[in-house]
């Protein structure tokens, strides 16, 4: 398909105002954004324009019926200072899986790829140069039809905006395994990155915080027995000589960082299992001394360490991060691939062409 992207550059870049050594996460945004609109059964009006507010009708359907999905991904600079993307095609495929579940139109994957490359090529100066820093990218789609009635919208908007983020040093977290609230059910929307999933998690998370915990370890909604995710991340357990992560069953997000860790650990000879894992099995492993590590995986932190898990009053203490060799190996492997210091065996890295006339 033909998809010319109209580019309107800002006349007043804000990149010079940013302290790249002190970037508040999620509050600083780059100069430009990509926008496209869906109407009459097709996507069009592809454009990159200065980042800024959008105006909407109060009857916009996304505000009432929740057709809204998103992705989280990053662009980096490698050891030579060149901008690169990471597994863009996987993010394009996953947002379309989310769109399908939420009865929204698929966004063309080739346009997604070119939009990401062009946007980063223009705003490459916003990528912090330090290892562990990145340009966070937020693609999202929402219903824009102006109608009050429960049905799929006939109009949608797709947007990608970006913002610099520094290294994310997550402190080890204390988890509460919830036997009261459920994040998702098989057949529900847990596998989609739907906005409503995150809204529904806020009250349980707040209650966990008020009880002295950092995050919730989500269990299945039928029996409150099988482990799903931790907070908004996938989760890995090292039990004995095996690395175990819950199998994606429709209620668990198919994390791209999760998949990267699985492939990299297997490539290094680790025994990685994707299967149902019960909280009872974890408790037993804790009691018999075979529970070695627990860590979350996601775009922001790559690996987030778990300090303890409490289930029905029983607290399972975990080793300190410096003693967790498998989690550390997973995080370092991903960072080394992105930085370009080890071979990219899986072709995850995509060089970005710096566009002429952009800020250097």
118-to-319, 328, 354 alpha-carbon distances in Å = 44, 33, 8
Report the percentage of the chain scoring pLDDT > 70: 98
pLDDT bin (cut points 50, 70, 90) of residue 358 is low
* Number of separate domains in the chain: 2
Co-location of 194 and 129 in the same domain: no
When pLDDT is averaged across residues 250-267 and rounded to a whole number, the result is: 97
Mean residue pLDDT of the chain comes to 95
Q: Identify whether residues 106 and 228 lie together within a single domain.
A: no
d(CA 69, CA 252): 16
Beta strands 42-50 and 6-7, pairing class: parallel
For the cut 50, the answer to whether the pLDDT of residue 57 exceeds it is: yes
Asked if residue 352 is part of any domain, the answer here is no
With tokens 């509050």, the residue in question is 27
My answer on whether 18 and 158 are in the same domain is: yes
Q: Are 345 and 212 in contact (CB under 8 A)?
A: no
User: Which H or E element spans position 237?
Assistant: strand 234-239
- Same-domain check for residues 100 and 177: no
Strands 242-246 and 271-275: parallel
Return the pLDDT at 70. Answer: 98
With bands split at pLDDT 50, 70 and 90, how would you rate the model's confidence at 360? Answer: very low
Q: Please compute the mean of the pLDDT values over residues 149-162 and round it to a whole number.
A: 98
Is residue 96 assigned to a domain? yes
Distance CA 98, CA 262 (A): 22
Residue at a domain's end among 167, 189, 220: 167
pLDDT of the residue at 131: 82
- Residue 354 token pair: 């710096």
Q: Give dist(CA 304, CA 266) in Å, integer.
A: 20
Q: What angle do CA 65, 68, 73 make, to 5 degrees?
A: 165
Among the ranges given (16-20, 166-170, 207-211), the one the predictor scored with the smallest mean pLDDT: 166-170
Query: Residue 219 belongs to a domain with what CATH number?
Result: 3.20.10.10
Q: Kindly state the average pLDDT of the residues 67-80.
A: 97
167, 192, 226: which is the final residue of a domain? Answer: 167
Let me know whether 135 and 183 are in one domain.
no
The predicted structure's pLDDT at residue 170: 73
Question: Are residue 100 and residue 157 in the same domain, yes or no?
Answer: yes
Q: Is residue 225 part of a domain?
A: yes
Measured between alpha carbons, how far is 240 from 250 in angstroms, rounded to an integer? Answer: 28
> Which letter does DSSP use for residue 143 in this model?
E
Other Cβ atoms within 10 Å of 230 Cβ, number: 26
What CATH code is carried by the domain that includes residue 49? 3.30.470.10
Tens digit of pLDDT for each residue in 110-146? 999 999 999 999 999 999 988 889 999 999 999 999 9
Q: Is the pLDDT of residue 304 over 70?
A: yes
pLDDT score for 168: 78
Q: Are residues 217 and 306 in the same domain?
A: yes
The three-state secondary structure class of 234 is strand
Looking at the structure, tell me whether residues 312 and 177 fall in a common domain: yes
Do 16 and 88 fall into the same domain? yes
E strand spans, the chain: 6-7, 32-39, 42-50, 68-70, 73-77, 83-86, 134-143, 156-165, 173-177, 215-219, 227-230, 234-239, 242-246, 271-275, 291-298, 302-311, 314-317, 349-351
- Determine the pLDDT at residue 310: 98
Look at residue 239 and tell me if it is in a domain: yes
Based on the fold, state whether residues 283 and 228 are members of the same structural domain: yes
Average pLDDT over residues 222-227: 97
Residues 163 and 189 in one domain: no
**Domain residues for 287?**
173-339
Same domain, 151 and 224: no
State which of 167, 197, 223 marks the end of a domain.
167
């Amino acid at each position: 398909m033909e998809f010319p992207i109209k580019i309107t550059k800002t006349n007043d870049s804000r990149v010079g105002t940013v302290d790249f050594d002190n970037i508040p996460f999620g509050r600083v945004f780059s100069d430009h954004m990509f926008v496209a609109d869906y109407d009459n059964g097709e996507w069009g009006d592809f454009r990159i324009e200065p980042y800024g507010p959008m105006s909407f009708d109060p009857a916009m359907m996304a505000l009432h019926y929740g057709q809204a999905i998103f992705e989280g991904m990053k662009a980096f600079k490698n050891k030579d200072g060149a901008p690169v993307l990471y597994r863009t095609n996987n993010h394009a495929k996953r947002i379309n899986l989310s769109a399908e579940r939420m009865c929204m139109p698929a966004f063309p994957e080739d346009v997604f790829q070119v939009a990401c490359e062009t946007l980063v090529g223009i705003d490459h100066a916003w990528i912090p140069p330090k290892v562990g820093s990145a340009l966070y990218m937020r693609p999202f789609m929402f219903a824009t039809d102006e109608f009050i009635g429960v049905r799929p919208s006939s109009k949608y908007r797709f947007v990608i905006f970006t913002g610099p983020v520094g290294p994310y040093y997550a402190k080890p977290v204390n988890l509460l395994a919830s036997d009261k609230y459920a994040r998702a059910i098989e057949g529900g929307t847990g596998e989609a990155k739907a906005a409503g999933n995150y809204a529904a998690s806020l009250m349980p998370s707040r209650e966990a915080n008020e009880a002295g915990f950092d995050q919730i370890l989500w269990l299945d909604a039928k029996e409150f027995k099988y482990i799903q995710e931790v907070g908004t991340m996938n989760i890995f357990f090292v039990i004995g000589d095996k690395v175990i992560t819950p199998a994606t069953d429709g209620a668990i997000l198919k994390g791209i960082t999760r998949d990267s860790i699985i492939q990299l650990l297997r490539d290094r000879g680790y025994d990685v299992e994707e299967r149902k894992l019960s909280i009872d099995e974890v408790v037993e492993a804790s009691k018999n001394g075979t529970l070695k590590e627990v860590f979350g995986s996601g775009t922001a932190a790559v690996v987030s360490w778990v300090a303890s898990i409490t289930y029905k009053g029983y607290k399972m203490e975990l080793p300190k991060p410096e003693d967790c060799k498998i989690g550390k190996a997973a995080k370092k492997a991903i960072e080394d691939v992105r930085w370009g210091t080890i071979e990219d065996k899986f072709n995850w890295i995509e060089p970005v062409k710096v566009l002429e006339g952009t800020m250097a």
